[in-house]
Amino acid sequence: MERTPIKSSSIASIGYDPETQILEVEFRHGGAIYHYAKVPPEKHAALMASDSIGKHFHAYIRTHPDHPFTKVEASGEAKEAKA
């Protein structure tokens, strides 16, 4: 998935696939990449348009129970992180 570089102290880049509704987030510290599921296009658009992407992400996606996530390994394999 292609990601867009982000100006954020915690997030390095964000990618999105509207067909699968997967949000891909690369974090600055450690370079970990996570996939967040069931993120509708309007929620992705609101995230990208927000004044603080990191705060918006934490408030509306990262801590939201409707968006299960997986940590993506460098090899391309996914590891279940949260159901």
N-terminal to C-terminal alpha carbon distance within the chain: 22
Q: What is the structure's pLDDT at 29?
A: 86
Q: Report the predicted TM-score, pTM, of the whole model to 2 decimal places.
A: 0.85
Distance from C-alpha of 19 to C-alpha of 11, rounded to nearest angstrom: 23
* Structural domain boundaries enclosing 60: 3-80
Encode the chain (83 residues) as per-residue pLDDT tens digits: 899 999 999 999 999 999 999 999 999 988 899 999 999 999 999 999 999 999 999 999 998 999 999 999 653 444 544 44
Q: What is the structure's pLDDT at 69?
A: 95
Q: What is the structure's pLDDT at 14?
A: 97
Domain count for the chain: 1
